[in-house]
């Protein structure tokens, strides 16, 4: 390595502002960073830092040339001009998870740890780091046990929570936070819900707004605060933080006790980095052609993540995050073309996309909900036109709409909040209506990907489901209608006719029976929009499923999802369109044995549920 004199700060500043996260930072901050930059040069083939080395002390930005990211001798990524590296090790204090090597003569801007931590802790910097790490090509096989992505958030709590009542003065609350060296304070509202006050709230809602220190903390807090359970994985919680735009989540036990607060900075060092920077390309795309070009990189990313031994559950979540990003950008482009609608609205992902369980073979289910008293004749056609454009754009990017019509491009799935809620209440009160159970199953999985401030307004209507035993019984019967493919003498039932003859349908035979059971058990426990794993865990904890059965279904879901994704990755690698039909002969004897046991375990649980509820199995 050779060091050279830094170019003039204005030149460095202009360069940094062209690249994230500097392009979203205040110009004065970028100028200060530019003034502290050091320049280093590396000859082609030299190592900048080694895998497993002590934590790095500098953030590096590639100014010219290219840097290879190497894991156990295998090149995972090639970084070009403007790209950052070294931040994961620096932020976590952990040894480096990969080798950085000059692919050609390279020049780097080197930023010292103190100023680098400051800029990455700013909202724009933290969003960049969190999203790039979350969507990264996982090197979890080499990750140390302390990797936050694979730990429950309860293990990441760094201190006791600071809690106060809503009538506590802001001045007292600030003193409590200072004494505890805490960046947030939890407000117990007394009705089972919580509020939260953060350092940022003190700056923007108190100091900047001129709110007096003797005002109650309720005047500056955010409420209700989004919370998480201590057993949720760090990766899942960070996904929620990014979706909702919050930086602090109180961690609450099943009994309602506040255990602590987890911050986004605790969670960002989760994985390495994205090989294709898909999110950045999507955000910068100016038309559908550019989005389609970016989307074409998603399948190679899935192949790479699978090759790096990332768990199928995590790959499916990242896949869904990218499709969410595509949807949002398509909405921005569609609204720019059609004009702002007369009312605010939310775009709802449905089905596997909503549960973050999508795979390359998945289609896209969607709906729209609008808010306010705008006349339907004025707003619905406009939103439907936007939806039609977005759905067509997704199709162009390789993500077809649901073949059964559950799509925002259908007027049936474009409604006001009042209309959706009225329909949901009708299905709850009379689940024998035509298609009621199907529509309940579709809508309870809804998750907003546009208009995130609205929460889950449609899905939340189904929290009333536990009050109607008849609905739950019919939902149970519906959940038991799809049977695993178990056959005579513990064999596997395969397709007997058609193009998939002799093959095993992993989706309808393995995934759907578990998803349907989890949805029913979750709704019986009062859980609406959630992943299959989360529903099973809640169902096991509250007793709508025996804990042993919930655990068995969770293991089976992970096994079948892993085999399904492995099959699709093989098809993608061979240049084929992915599907869910596996030839049992291609599976190892041990895998076939595990799969048979999983299918029989699912069937046994279905029989127990049927016997307990006396609903029968079709």
Least reliable range by pLDDT among 202-206, 266-270, 272-276: 272-276
Architecture of domain 148-267: Roll (3.10)
Q: Range with the lowest mean pLDDT among 398-407, 524-533, 538-547?
A: 524-533
CATH code for the structural domain at 284-461: 3.30.460.10
2-121 sits in which CATH class?
mainly beta
**Hey, CA dihedral for 433, 434, 440, 446, is it positive or negative?**
negative
Residue 488 predicted with pLDDT over 60: no
Contacts of 276 (CB under 8 A, 6+ apart): 297, 300, 301
Question: pLDDT averaged over the chain?
Answer: 83
Q: SS3 of 260, please?
A: strand
Q: In the predicted model, is pLDDT for residue 146 greater than 60?
A: no
Q: Mind listing the pLDDT tens digit for each residue in 393-423?
A: 999 999 999 888 889 999 999 999 899 888 8
pLDDT of residue 528: 80
pLDDT computed for residue 141 by the predictor: 36
- C-alpha closest to that of 282 among 325, 245, 319: 325
Write the CA distances from 306 to 141, 561, 586, integer angstroms.
Answer: 11, 12, 18
Name residues whose C-beta falls within 8 Å of residue 486's C-beta, 6 or more positions apart in sequence.
492, 493, 596, 599, 600, 603
- DSSP characters over 426-473: HHHH-TTSTTHHHHHHHHTT-EEEESGGG-STTGGGGGGGGG-HHHHH
For 493, 507, 604, 616, the CA distances from 607, given in Å and listed in that order, are 18, 20, 5, 8
Identify which has the larger pLDDT, 213 or 149.
Answer: 213
Domain boundaries, the chain: 2-121, 148-267, 284-461, 468-613
Phi, psi of 349 (to 5 degrees): -80, 140
Q: Give residue 277's pLDDT.
A: 54
Q: Can you give the pLDDT at residue 308? A: 64
**What predicted TM-score, i.e. pTM, was given to this entire model?**
0.58
> With contact defined as beta carbons under 8 Å apart, do 41 and 61 qualify?
no
On the question of pLDDT at 378 being above 60, the answer is: yes
Q: Can you read off the two tokens belonging to residue 128? A: 């960049």
**What CA–CA distance (Å, rounded) separates 238 from 455?**
16
**How far is 144 from 167, CA to CA, in rounded Å?**
44
pLDDT at 69: 85
A 10 A CB-CB count for 345 gives: 27
pLDDT (tens digit per residue) in 557-616: 999 999 999 999 999 989 999 999 998 888 888 888 888 888 889 999 999 988 887 755
The two domains 2-121 and 284-461 share their CATH topology (first three levels equal): no
DSSP-derived 3-state class of residue 38: strand
Predicted confidence (pLDDT) per residue in 287-321, tens digit: 999 999 889 888 888 887 787 677 888 888 888 88
Q: Confirm if 368 and 334 have CB atoms less than 8 A apart.
A: no
Assess whether pLDDT exceeds 80 at residue 375: yes
Could you count the other beta carbons within 10 Å of the beta carbon of residue 156? 18
Q: Give the model's pLDDT for residue 386.
A: 96
Are the C-beta atoms of 470 and 431 separated by less than 8 Å? yes
- Tell the residue number behind the tokens 């790959």, with chain if given: 315
Cα(41)–Cα(108) distance, integer angstroms: 6
More confident of the two residues 154 and 115: 115
203-212, 255-264, 423-432, 495-504: segment of lowest average pLDDT: 495-504
Which position has the token pair 């790490």? 133
Other CB atoms within a 10 A radius of the CB of residue 378 amount to 11
Assess whether the previous peptide bond of 34 is cis (omega < 30° from 0). no
Nearest to 102 by CA among 139, 64, 132: 64
Average pLDDT, stretch 230-237?
A: 78
Quick one: what percent of the chain has pLDDT higher than 70? 87
What are the b/e assignments for 454-483, b being 16+ CB within 10 Å?
Answer: bbbbbbebbebbeebeebbebbbbbbbebb
Q: Are 234 and 156 in contact (CB under 8 A)?
A: yes
What percent of the chain stands above pLDDT 90?
Answer: 35
Contact by Cβ (8 Å): 133, 180: no
Cα–Cα distance, 20 to 32 (Å, whole number): 16
């Amino acid at each position: 390595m050779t060091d050279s004199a830094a170019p003039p700060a204005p030149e460095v500043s202009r360069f940094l502002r062209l690249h994230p996260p500097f392009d979203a930072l205040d110009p004065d901050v970028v100028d200060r960073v530019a003034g502290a930059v050091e320049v280093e040069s590396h000859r082609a083939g030299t190592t900048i830092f080694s895998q497993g080395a002590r934590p790095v002390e500098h953030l590096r930005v590639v100014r010219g040339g290219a840097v290879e990211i190497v894991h156990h001798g295998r090149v995972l990524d090639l970084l070009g001009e403007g790209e950052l590296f070294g931040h994961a090790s620096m932020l976590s204090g952990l040894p480096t998870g990969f080798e950085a090597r000059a692919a050609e003569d390279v020049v780097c801007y080197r930023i010292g740890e103190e100023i680098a931590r400051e800029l990455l802790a700013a909202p724009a910097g933290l969003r960049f780091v969190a999203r790039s790490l979350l969507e990264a090509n996982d090197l979890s096989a080499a990750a140390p046990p302390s990797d936050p992505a694979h730990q429950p958030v309860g293990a990441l709590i760094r201190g006791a929570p600071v809690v106060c009542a809503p009538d506590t003065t802001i001045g007292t609350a600030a003193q409590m936070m200072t004494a505890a060296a805490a960046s947030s304070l939890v407000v117990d509202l007394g009705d089972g819900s919580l509020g939260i006050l953060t350092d940022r709230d003190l700056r923007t809602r108190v100091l900047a707004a001129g709110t007096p220190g003797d005002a109650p903390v309720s005047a500056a807090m955010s409420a209700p605060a989004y919370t998480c359970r201590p057993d949720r994985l760090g990766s899942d919680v960070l996904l929620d933080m990014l979706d909702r735009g919050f930086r602090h989540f109180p961690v609450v036990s099943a009994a309602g006790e506040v255990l602590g607060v987890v911050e986004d900075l605790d969670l960002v060092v989760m994985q390495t980095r994205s090989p294709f920077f898909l999110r950045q390309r999507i955000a910068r795309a100016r038309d559908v052609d550019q989005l389609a070009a970016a989307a074409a990189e998603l399948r190679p990313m899935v192949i790479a993540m699978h090759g790096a031994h990332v768990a199928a559950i995590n790959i499916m979540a990242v896949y869904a995050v990218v499709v969410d990003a595509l949807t949002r950008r398509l909405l921005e482009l569609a609204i720019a073309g059609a004009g702002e609608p007369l009312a605010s609205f939310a775009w709802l992902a449905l089905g596997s996309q909503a549960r973050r369980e999508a795979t390359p073979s998945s289609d896209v289910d969607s709906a729209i909900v609008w808010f306010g008293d705008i006349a339907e004749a004025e707003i619905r056609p406009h939103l439907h036109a936007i939806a039609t454009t977005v759905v067509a754009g997704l199709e162009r990017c390789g993500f077809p709409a649901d073949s059964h019509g559950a799509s925002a491009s259908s007027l049936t799935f474009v409604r006001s909040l009042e209309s959706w809620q009225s329909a949901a209440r009708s299905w709850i009160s009379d689940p024998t209506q035509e298609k009621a159970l199907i529509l309940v199953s579709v809508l309870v999985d809804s998750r907003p990907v546009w208009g995130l401030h609205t929460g889950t307004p449609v899905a939340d209507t189904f929290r009333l489901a536990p009050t109607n035993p008849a609905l739950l019984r019919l939902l149970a019967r519906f959940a038991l209608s799809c049977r695993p493919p178990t056959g005579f003498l513990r064999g596997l039932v395969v397709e007997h006719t058609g193009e998939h003859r002799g093959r095993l349908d992993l989706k309808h035979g393995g995934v759907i029976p578990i998803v349907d059971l989890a949805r029913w058990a979750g709704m019986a426990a009062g859980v609406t929009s959630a992943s299959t794993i989360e529903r099973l865990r809640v169902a096991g904890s509250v007793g709508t499923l025996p804990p042993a059965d919930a655990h068995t279904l969770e293991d089976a879901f992970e096994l079948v999802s892993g085999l399904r994704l492995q099959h699709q990755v093989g098809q993608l690698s061979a240049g084929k369109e992915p599907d869910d039909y596996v030839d049992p002969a291609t599976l190892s004897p041990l895998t076939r044995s595990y799969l048979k046991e999983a299918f029989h375990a699912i069937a046994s649980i279905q029989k127990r549920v049927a016997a307990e509820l006396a609903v029968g199995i079709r």
